Amino acid sequence: MDLAPVLDGFGVVLQPTNLLYCLIGVVVGMLVGVLPGLGPAATIAILLPITIGIEPVTAVIMLAGIFYGAQYGGTITSVLLRLPGEASSVVTVFDGFALARQGRAGTALGIAAVGSFLGGTVSIVALSFVAPLVAGFALDFGPPEYTALALLGILLVATVSSGDRLKAVIAACLGLLLATVGRDGFTGAERFTFDNLSLADGLDFVPIAMGLFGLGEILYNLEERHRAVHAPATVANVWPSRKDLRQSSGAIGRGSVLGFFLGILPGGGATLASLAAYAMEKRRSKTPERFGRGAVEGVAAPESANNAAATSSFIPLLTLGIPANATMAVIYGALLIQGVSPGPQLVDQEPELFWGVVNSMYIGNILLLIMSIPLVGLFVKILRVRATILAPITVLITLIGVYTVNYDVFDIGLVVAFGALGYLMKKLGFDPGPLVLAFVLGSLLEDSLRRSLLLFDGDPTGFLTRPISGTLLVLFLVVVLLPLIRAALPRRRADARRDTKELV
């Protein structure tokens, strides 16, 4: 493997601006993970206007920091307050809070920090080897492969998202439809523009993301009643003992590997990884009855896994140009704004960007490890700020911030409209994530599909003649038909419960 670009990447990371934005990213990420309400996707969306004025590599370094920083922040509230700050921290609640009740909150937080660091680092190393391979492999992709890949990616994200699969796919279709608004690239016809000049160039990604994720979430939270209040928790001796570390070393290792693989899968992600790692640890433990009562492995495994998964979920984005989850979709959008098209050519054509981002994750993980423990007290203080005060601040940041993108008041109107849509969607059980994902992929998908059809002279079975697109398409059909088959077959229990939550 050619090491030169990798080392150049480190050079990029060590520039003071990039280091600063990395720091900002992980601190903001931790904050976002601690505070209930907004998640990393919403925060990244709201901060999109900031990314316009800075270099692409700096922007992604910061946004990436927010993403994996949030995985750690969510742990703090899980352990101290039994309140999962992020969906991927739900599993940490069980043993983490149990440890806290035994007066060992520091141990739990410390193990979580170490596990997160190691999980992230293992994942980055693996990413450094796997990503160029995947990108190289994907350079031969043509329109049929992209069609199949985009379809499969959207479907997987919609299927594994929280709640009703049917509604998630509908949301995705809506996203695809919204992507058609504007002038058609092939024929020049204006679609769904209703004679509005501002719509002629298509819908801008930024107001959609900011509205759906940011304002939508805030409006949705207005209907939340009666959150429990907790007394401030004090944390002492935030470092795990050597015995604890030794005991959890296996869990950390296994969790990291499992997290890495589950993160690459579109629709997989940090939440699924944390669940799977916990379940696996419990199953292979010789003393499973300790789990749920303060087993350090019960904290180490999910934390390593979720950080590993958060890191590896960058692979599909950076190598194939296919976002693996809603947050990646927003980062994809951020890259597009900067004029960077993510795809297999990114590794070769923009090595500074690619390796700059990847290597920044090492630094980010180190920063997280160093800062997480001293900052715990600070974050608990921050938890005292009332949501009712944060809400109007966030609303105004969003409304005024979106204006800074195009200096167009129409965008503010658009963000409000999508805020209303986001609220309705969440209220009625439609996950907005698949909509954003489908929106960013919509043009690519339609483009590839039309080219493919022209290639096959209108014959859809042409997809099956090519090995890659054929396999992907078969997978697609399997994923589509699986729930129908399961519904038809009588099972022991109705699969009505959802046991994975929002991925971001």
Least Å distance between CB 457 and another protein?
A: 6
Q: Which of 1, 129, 187, 243 binds another protein (CB under 8 A)?
A: 187
Least Å distance between CB 418 and another protein?
A: 11
Least Å distance between CB 354 and another protein?
A: 30
Q: Is 200 in the site for another protein (CB under 8 A)?
A: no
List C-alpha distances in Å: 25 to 226, 326, 369, 449. 31, 18, 14, 37
Q: Pick the closer one to another protein by CB: 366 or 420.
A: 420
Q: Pick the closer one to another protein by CB: 179 or 335.
A: 179
Evaluate whether 79 touches 96 at the Cβ level (below 8 Å): yes
Q: Pick the closer one to another protein by CB: 189 or 489.
A: 189
Task: List the interface residues with another protein, window 460-479 (CB under 8 A).
Answer: 460
- Spatial CB neighbours of 170, under 8 Å, sequence gap ≥ 6: 430
Q: Is 167 in the site for another protein (CB under 8 A)?
A: yes
List C-alpha distances in Å: 238 to 159, 364, 389. 39, 20, 31
Q: Which amino acid is at 67?
A: F
Total residues interacting with another protein, rule: CB under 8 A: 105
Evaluate whether 313 touches 306 at the Cβ level (below 8 Å): no
Q: Is 207 in the site for another protein (CB under 8 A)?
A: no
Separation of CA 31 from chain center: 16
The enclosing H or E element of 191 equals strand 190-191
Phi/psi at 292 (nearest 5 deg)?
Answer: 90, -10
Evaluate whether 102 touches 116 at the Cβ level (below 8 Å): no
**String marking each residue 212-251 x if it binds another protein according to CB under 8 A:** ---x--xxxxxxxxxxxxxxxx------------------
Q: Which of 101, 246, 284, 486 binds another protein (CB under 8 A)?
A: 101
Q: Pick the closer one to another protein by CB: 25 or 143.
A: 143
Least Å distance between CB 45 and another protein?
A: 15
Least Å distance between CB 10 and another protein?
A: 32
Task: List the interface residues with another protein, window 428-447 (CB under 8 A).
Answer: 428-429, 446
Q: Is 395 in the site for another protein (CB under 8 A)?
A: yes
d(CA 289, CA 316): 38
Least Å distance between CB 62 and another protein?
A: 17
Q: Is 37 in the site for another protein (CB under 8 A)?
A: yes
Least Å distance between CB 222 and another protein?
A: 5
- Spatial CB neighbours of 143, under 8 Å, sequence gap ≥ 6: 447, 448, 449, 451, 452, 455
Evaluate whether 358 touches 9 at the Cβ level (below 8 Å): yes
d(CA 187, CA 163): 38
Q: Which of 125, 279, 464, 475 binds another protein (CB under 8 A)?
A: 279
Task: List the interface residues with another protein, window 102-131 (CB under 8 A).
Answer: none
Rg of the chain over all Cα atoms, to the nearest angstrom: 22
